[in-house]
Amino acid sequence: MSDHRFDPSQADGRWQRAWEEAGTFTADSDSAKPKSYILEMFPYPSGRIHMGHVRNYTMGDVLARYQKMRGHEVLHPMGWDAFGMPAENAAMEKGVHPGEWTRANIAQMKAQLKRIGFALDWTREFATCDPEYYGHEQALFLDLYEAGLVYRKESTVNWDPVDMTVLANEQVIDGKGWRSGAEVEKRKLNQWFLKITEFADDLLEGLGSLEDWPEKVRLMQENWIGKSQGLEFSFDLSNGGKLPVYTTRPDTIFGASFCAIAADHPIAQGLGDDADVAAFIEQCKRGGTKAAEVETAEKLGYRTAITARHPFTGEALPVFIANFVLMEYGTGAVMGVPGHDSRDFEFATKYDLPIARVVASDPAQADAPFEGEAEAGDGVIVNSDFLNGMTVEAAKAAVIARAEAEGWGEGRTVWRLRDWGVSRQRYWGTPIPIIHSPDHGPVPVPRDQLPVVLPEDIDFSEPGNPLDRHPTWKHTTCPISGKPALRETDTLDTFVDSSWYFLRFASQPADKPFDPEEVAKWLPVKHYIGGVEHAILHLLYARFWTRALAHLGKIDVKEPFAALFTQGMVTHETYSRNDAARGVPVFFAPEEVRRNAEGVSLIADGEAVDVGRVIKMSKSKKNVVDPDAIIAKHGADAVRWFMLSDSPPERDLPWSDAGIEGCARFVQRLWRLFQAYDVEATGEDRALERKTHQTIAAVAADIEALGFNKAVARIYELTGATEKAAPSASRSAAIRALMHLVAPMMPHLAEEAYSAIGGGGLIADAPWPEVDPALLVDDEVTIALQHMGKLRDTVQAPKGASKEDLEALAMASANLQRSLGGAPIRKVIVVPDRLVNIVT
RNA sequence: GCGGGUGUGGCGGAAUGGUAGACGCCGGGGACUUAAAAUCCCCUGAGCUUUGCUCGUGCGGGUUCGAGUCCCGCCACCCGCACCA
């Protein structure tokens, strides 16, 4: 070793080529080794890799390289979630074809990923916009269709009345269309749905087996599926009709003071001839479809002339049309119990309806007043006839039993989970392989006509769905009658694309979506890593597809991801100035500002800028740092090391220039230490040997638990200890161990050093160092000496010393004796190898 | 609004109910150098009457010989909410 500095600008590329030429990371399905499938959520090809990707993929990369060192055959693939709205937006704004734009982005991002040196099997790469991929997806869609898991129904969308187009939730800003600024309306369209609810129970049940998923994600999915037991019953109406309602709180039925129905409920629609009712229903249509908007909107109601007869008291309850009742959930109608439901409370207060107490902390509190809000908690039932004195649970059962016995209602399980609407009125997605025949209705496209390929010649100059406007594409013939027919012009939700891509990575036959035998070899994924923002939708949909395919007998796994890890975001502080003229902040990028002793100033004019909070990197706040620039400056290993250091992986990682510079310094520091490797050195250093073996074991445990920041800290410690040690065989062994320990994290540096000492072959192919268990335990420990739990002294003791010996050592401490001050000792607590605590 | 999470020095964080602040960054002092960079060494939670003591893990209570950790009640911030991916 002669170079004084490690030069990533030439080493990075050299080793990346070496791995590629050797096929080091190409997964061999036929290998006899144990298999590990390591997967990170594949990226949307937005154009540039961002730090969030780098963090996500670095974590997966460390696991993949580590598992390989541990003798596993590793599958670590990469591909592109390539359909979606940004490509269409680019088409509208810049006049580029979505396909061209996407392909160019993929090429650019792939080159970026390669420069970071990830251990990826690029032979399995694909993009979801490849006709081959989405053709197989169409076949799977038809499989589900034929199995009765696909159907069509009306559903509400955000409608922009000016642009005459359907808007995504993110395109609705404050209830207005993002381009037109027009107030968005709710509109009904016929759309395709997947019957995810058919698997609701199984999806819920399956959560219990996912032990290596974060508890919080399982909880979120559980709440999302939202299994609830309740009562469905019908009110007799004053107009002779019936009103079926569903409630999860039948125990509070004596507290009901009104009924509320959705604006699109048949009864409400039936009253639509009345101008006031029609106007109110119109009003309810305004605003977007987002849950957060619907639920924070002011509760509005229209009191109809109809009343509902209470099944027990016979009282006539007013029936309202209300904007907070959703037709999609339950029966689209509720009984309002203001005392014990916060929405009902707000509504009753506004419309001056009675608020009765039917649950109290104890029977003596039966007439306690409410303190400005509903009480949804547990208690005993009061003011409720035959339910009085029961617990909430018992009363629920009693009401359901009574309703069933008397035949006016029955217990029912209701799910919050709704069927998955997969129709999108857009171009850049998988065409839904259905033909609408004038004689036979919707008919599947015959399998031999798949894939239904998107037309290339499209026009984005007008709003609306380009597929629908295309002059010829949708015109075809009915597969049954041969008569002219129209293609479905909706495309599939891009979540469908990401619901089975992990199966395609495991096997890529040309004639079918995947090979079940290959899938069986690799699945389930051993570690699946991605952002917590996917905790519910993507992960639930992927679990659903896997189940549905297992249900059809196509694969033999139900849960695709054995272990899930959700990593935090990469954040950065923001720099801004308030634009007085427009009253909004103007943001500056990190490279536009300079930080010095006085603070942060704009390079352009030298004047100060406001330093804002540390938040997620985003283009709109300009607080982004481009990985390419950083790699060019510091090398891939420094960036990878930064991604793993300091912050626990599940938490946010604040980017800082000082931090990356520290990492780059550490790369050089290790390089200097590696140069001190001396194969001929002799002599033992027991303490360093111990430290080395303890570190190897601890780093392995930390990596397996994804505690990368802790592994990094251990490596720093061993580095420091090794630097300080005098030359010896033990020191050379420590240096060699360090090369292997950092190999998954700083692979370029590790290869360079390994080759320089003549390690032989690639360190990427070398095994993880062995640990001598005898060296893992220390023979001396530090004992804390406490008085009343306060530290007074510490003392060294042999490991495993007896309680009596430890107590004697404690009593010999002058500091402890001074604290005791001769007070009588009431108790002595001795924790072996830890502490002695004297209680006086 | 509903669901989920997070909170420890100037900063990122560490800590099976048992020595709070490992490790890193920043900062201060020193060495080397004609000088700088690089590198190396030392210090670095606050306070005090400084052999040592007191306070200190978002806030207020509690359990315990002992609480960052367990329990109860708050506060602040972040994420998700079904057409962003």
Nucleotide nearest to A783 (CA to C1'): B19
Nucleotide nearest to A717 (CA to C1'): B23
CA(A814)–C1'(B48) in Å? 22
Q: CB under 8 Å, gap of 24 or more: what pairs does A91-100 form?
A: A91/A428, A91/A460, A92/A460, A95/A460, A97/A456, A97/A458, A98/A427, A98/A428, A99/A129, A99/A428, A99/A454, A99/A456
The C-alpha atoms of residue A662 and residue A644 are separated, in whole angstroms, by 13
Nucleotide nearest to A724 (CA to C1'): B40
Neighbours of A348 (CB within 10 A): 23
Query: What three-state secondary structure class fits A590?
Result: helix
Whether pLDDT at A190 is above 80: yes
A215: amino acid identity, one letter: E
The C-alpha atoms of residue A424 and residue A477 are separated, in whole angstroms, by 23
Reported ipTM:
0.94
pLDDT digit string (tens) for A329-340?
888 899 999 888
Q: What are phi and psi of A127, to 5 degrees?
A: -120, 145
Using only C-alpha atoms, what is the Rg of chain A? 33
Nucleotide nearest to A832 (CA to C1'): B18
pLDDT digit string (tens) for A660-693?
999 999 999 999 999 999 999 999 999 999 999 9
pLDDT digit string (tens) for A525-543?
999 999 888 989 999 999 9
Task: Give the pLDDT of residue A380.
Answer: 86
Per DSSP, what are the bridge partners of residue A258? A336
CA(A313)–C1'(B13) in Å? 62
Query: What three-state secondary structure class fits A575?
Result: strand
pLDDT, greater one: A577 or A41: A41
Q: Residue at minimal CA–C1' distance from B83?
A: A168
Give yes or no for a cis peptide into A524 (omega within 30° of 0).
yes
CA(A38)–C1'(B45) in Å? 42
Whether pLDDT at A307 is above 80: yes
Task: Give the pLDDT of residue A767.
Answer: 97
Task: Give the pLDDT of residue A360.
Answer: 84
β-pair type (A172-173, A176-177):
antiparallel
Residue A506 host element (H or E): helix A501-506
- Chain B nucleotides covered by protein, CB below 7 Å: 1-6, 11-16, 18-20, 22-26, 38-41, 52-54, 65-67, 78-85
Question: What single DSSP character describes residue A718?
Answer: H
Answer yes or no: are the C-beta atoms of A324 and A318 closer than 8 Å.
no
CA(A375)–C1'(B7) in Å? 29
Q: How far is CA A760 from CA A25, A446, A768, in A?
A: 18, 57, 15
Task: Give the pLDDT of residue A597.
Answer: 59
Per DSSP, what are the bridge partners of residue A441? A437
The C-alpha atoms of residue A547 and residue A564 are separated, in whole angstroms, by 17
Nucleotide nearest to A781 (CA to C1'): B19
The C-alpha atoms of residue A155 and residue A348 are separated, in whole angstroms, by 29
Q: How far is CA A684 from CA A649, A689, A716, A737, A826, in A?
A: 37, 8, 22, 16, 48
Encode A470-487 in three state secondary structure. CCCCCEEECCCCCCEEEE
Q: What are phi and psi of A126, to 5 degrees?
A: -155, 165
CA(A590)–C1'(B27) in Å? 22
Residue whose pair of structure tokens reads 């160019």 in the numeric block: A104
Question: What are the residues whose beta carbons fall under 8 Å from the beta carbon of A541, sequence distance 6 or more?
Answer: A196, A420, A495, A496, A498, A499
Query: Per the structure block, which two tokens stand in for A274?
Result: 């009345």
CA(A792)–C1'(B19) in Å? 9
Question: What single DSSP character describes residue A73?
Answer: E
Task: Report CA A454 to chain centroid distance, whole Å.
Answer: 30
CA(A281)–C1'(B60) in Å? 48
Q: Residue at minimal CA–C1' distance from B39?
A: A669
CA(A788)–C1'(B9) in Å? 26
Q: For the whole model, what pTM was predicted?
A: 0.93
Task: Report CA A512 to chain centroid distance, whole Å.
Answer: 29
The C-alpha atoms of residue A832 and residue A585 are separated, in whole angstroms, by 60
CA(A310)–C1'(B19) in Å? 67
CA(A395)–C1'(B74) in Å? 32
Query: Per the structure block, which two tokens stand in for A287?
Result: 């605003």
Per DSSP, what are the bridge partners of residue A335? A259
- Nearest CA among A638, A646, A713 for reference residue A668: A638
Residue whose pair of structure tokens reads 């919050």 in the numeric block: A416
Answer yes or no: are the C-beta atoms of A383 and A358 closer than 8 Å.
yes
Q: At what angle do helices A98-115 and A85-94 cross, to 10 degrees?
A: 120
Nucleotide nearest to A169 (CA to C1'): B83
Task: Report helix, strand and coil shares of chain A as percent, to nearest 5.
Answer: 40, 25, 40
CA(A735)–C1'(B45) in Å? 35
How are strands ordered across the β-sheet holding A790-798? Answer: A790-798, A780-787, A835-839, A827-831
Nucleotide nearest to A816 (CA to C1'): B52
Q: Residue at minimal CA–C1' distance from B27?
A: A597
Residue whose pair of structure tokens reads 């008569």 in the numeric block: A483
Query: Per the structure block, which two tokens stand in for A523?
Result: 């699945």
pLDDT band at A611 (very low <50, low <70, confident <90, very high): confident
Question: What single DSSP character describes residue A179?
Answer: T
pLDDT band at A68 (very low <50, low <70, confident <90, very high): very high
How many H-runs (helices) and E-runs (strands) does chain A carry?
Answer: 26, 35
E strand segments, A641-749: 653-654
Among the ranges A105-114, A616-625, A813-822, which has the highest mean pLDDT value? Answer: A105-114
Task: Give the pLDDT of residue A460.
Answer: 86
Per DSSP, what are the bridge partners of residue A415? A227
Q: How far is CA A833 from CA A370, A691, A799, in A?
A: 56, 19, 6
CA(A378)–C1'(B73) in Å? 17
Dihedral of CA atoms A75, A76, A77, A82 in degrees, nearest 10, equals: 140
For chain A, report the end-to-end CA distance as a whole number of angstroms.
Answer: 63
Segment A540-549 shows an average pLDDT of: 96
The C-alpha atoms of residue A374 and residue A7 are separated, in whole angstroms, by 67
Answer yes or no: are the C-beta atoms of A767 and A793 closer than 8 Å.
no
Task: Give the pLDDT of residue A550.
Answer: 96
Answer yes or no: are the C-beta atoms of A192 and A423 closer than 8 Å.
yes
pLDDT digit string (tens) for A478-496?
999 999 999 999 999 999 9
Nucleotide nearest to A613 (CA to C1'): B77
- Nearest CA among A541, A600, A609, A537 for reference residue A576: A609
Query: What three-state secondary structure class fits A746?
Result: coil
Residue whose pair of structure tokens reads 């087996």 in the numeric block: A209
Answer yes or no: are the C-beta atoms of A101 and A87 closer than 8 Å.
yes
Task: Report CA A347 to chain centroid distance, whole Å.
Answer: 35
Nucleotide nearest to A791 (CA to C1'): B19
CA(A622)–C1'(B4) in Å? 28
Query: What three-state secondary structure class fits A149?
Result: coil
Residue whose pair of structure tokens reads 């007439």 in the numeric block: A367
Task: Give the pLDDT of residue A1.
Answer: 43
The C-alpha atoms of residue A536 and residue A416 are separated, in whole angstroms, by 13
Whether pLDDT at A116 is above 70: yes
Task: Give the pLDDT of residue A2.
Answer: 43
Per residue in A119-129, is it b (16+ CB within 10 Å) or e — as a string? bbbeebbbbbb
Nucleotide nearest to A827 (CA to C1'): B65
Answer yes or no: are the C-beta atoms of A797 and A806 closer than 8 Å.
yes
Question: What single DSSP character describes residue A493?
Answer: -
CA(A223)–C1'(B24) in Å? 39
Percent over 90 (pLDDT), chain A: 65
CA(A109)–C1'(B82) in Å? 30
CA(A377)–C1'(B21) in Å? 41
CA(A789)–C1'(B65) in Å? 7
pLDDT band at A596 (very low <50, low <70, confident <90, very high): low
Nucleotide nearest to A826 (CA to C1'): B65
Segment A785-811 shows an average pLDDT of: 90
CA(A643)–C1'(B25) in Å? 14
Segment A216-235 shows an average pLDDT of: 91
What's the full length of chain A, in residues?
840
The C-alpha atoms of residue A34 and residue A14 are separated, in whole angstroms, by 30
Nucleotide nearest to A422 (CA to C1'): B83
Query: What three-state secondary structure class fits A432?
Result: coil
Nucleotide nearest to A532 (CA to C1'): B79
Whether pLDDT at A746 is above 90: yes
A174: left (phi > 0), else alpha (psi -120 to 50), else beta?
left
Q: What is the DSSP string of A289-347?
A: --HHHHHHSPP-EEEEEEEEE-TTT--EEEEEEETT--TTSTTSEEEE-GGG-HHHHHH
CA(A418)–C1'(B23) in Å? 48
pLDDT digit string (tens) for A80-92?
999 999 999 999 8
Answer yes or no: are the C-beta atoms of A566 and A650 closer than 8 Å.
yes
Whether pLDDT at A305 is above 50: yes
Nucleotide nearest to A673 (CA to C1'): B39
Task: Give the pLDDT of residue A38.
Answer: 97
pLDDT band at A264 (very low <50, low <70, confident <90, very high): confident
Query: What three-state secondary structure class fits A366?
Result: coil
Nucleotide nearest to A217 (CA to C1'): B4
CA angle (A326 as vertex; A322, A328 as ends), nearest 5: 155
Q: Residue at minimal CA–C1' distance from B64?
A: A789
Per DSSP, what are the bridge partners of residue A73? A35
Whether pLDDT at A182 is above 90: no
A684: amino acid identity, one letter: E
CA(A414)–C1'(B82) in Å? 17
pLDDT band at A598 (very low <50, low <70, confident <90, very high): low
Nucleotide nearest to A493 (CA to C1'): B83
Task: Give the pLDDT of residue A483.
Answer: 93
- Nearest CA among A66, A68, A53, A63 for reference residue A115: A53
